[in-house]
Amino acid sequence: MDDTIRRACVIGWPIEHSRSPMIHGHWLEEHGIAGEYGKRAVRPEALEDFLLNLPRHGLVGCNVTVPHKEAAFEIIHRANPEGVTALARALGAVNTVWLDERGRVCADNTDVHGFMANFMERAPDWTAPGRHVVIIGAGGAARAVVAGFAREGVARVTIANRTLEKAERMAEELAGIGEAALAAAPLSDLPALLPQADVLVNTTSLGMTGQPPLEVDLSPLPEHAVVADIVYTPLKTALLAQAEQRGLATVDGLGMLLHQAVPGFEKWFGLRPEVTRELRALVEADILKERAGRDGE
């Protein structure tokens, strides 16, 4: 193996569908960097050995995806507590792993940056003070979105989830992450929450191709509300289409995926890349191709 080439990858179980190699491959080519970015399927029982021995696997770092984000946090936090960022500690999950100058394993959660960077890019006129954000869902992705808005300085975040206890636990656990008041509600309260929502974000898998639809009537939302969906297959979900029809500002999920990749690339390859229209078009074309393939089956 050529030692001058820096190599990173995304790990998950399974991993076939990851688009991270396409994103990082695009940036490597764009900047003429002699690096490689692949994907590796890592079984849960092999995760610890993998993360604590990256150089043996020929790697300078990796992204971590489903189902390993929480387990990777535990493993790296035990091995090198100072190497885990405060944000990742608050979330209890990591998606980006690198080695410091002494070769110690370090980790961060860049989903927060990914969501907020994309949100601010797509809704540039939006400002946080005094705002009430309603989040649908209380899974791993919801944690990153709640943390992002709380740190941005909104007044209130309400987490509406099918399983109320999960939303309550999340509101409690993330209470100290910013100044925002965090509250939990059952999903059935959504219609009553909408008239007071400045931002609505879907963080569940509802509305994704192959999943049940997200059934919500957006008519009670105020006219200035912004509607975001982190689902990106399809690119324009039924939720976003309904919001557009009402003339509301919308933020789609693909930008989060692209922006979360930026900090990792910078750590591994030494250059902060840009999320360009060209990159977005490349990944969009891949999503549409996959869809066409499925429709043709």
User: Which stretches of the chain bind ligand NAP, using CB under 6 A?
Assistant: 111, 114, 137-142, 161-163, 166, 203-206, 208, 212, 230-232, 253, 256-257, 260
Q: At closest approach, how far in Å is the CB of 8 from ligand NAP?
A: 18
Q: At closest approach, how far in Å is the CB of 137 from ligand NAP?
A: 4
232/269 with CB nearer ligand NAP: 232
Q: At closest approach, how far in Å is the CB of 100 from ligand NAP?
A: 26
Instruction: Show Cβ contacts of residue 34 under 8 Å, excluding neighbours closer than 6 positions.
Output: 4, 5, 6
Q: Is 69 a catalytic residue?
A: yes
Q: At closest approach, how far in Å is the CB of 276 from ligand NAP?
A: 17
Q: At closest approach, how far in Å is the CB of 263 from ligand NAP?
A: 14
Q: Tell me the DSSP string of 127-168.
A: --TT-EEEEE--SHHHHHHHHHHHHHT-SEEEEEESSHHHHH
Q: How far is CA 176 from CA 44, 77, 107, 138, 149, in A?
A: 31, 20, 21, 17, 13
Closest chain position to ligand NAP (CB): 139
Cα–Cα–Cα angle for 132, 96, 68, nearest 5°? 90
Query: Which residue is catalytic, options 69, 166, 236, 267?
Result: 69
103: tokens are 């070769």
34/285 with CB nearer ligand NAP: 285
Q: At closest approach, how far in Å is the CB of 212 from ligand NAP?
A: 5
184/257 with CB nearer ligand NAP: 257
141/197 with CB nearer ligand NAP: 141
Between CA 141 and CA 204 the distance in angstroms is 8
Specify whether the CB–CB gap between 107 and 71 falls below 8 A. Answer: no
50/203 with CB nearer ligand NAP: 203
Distance of CA 65 to the CA centre of its chain: 10
**Residues identified as active-site:** 69
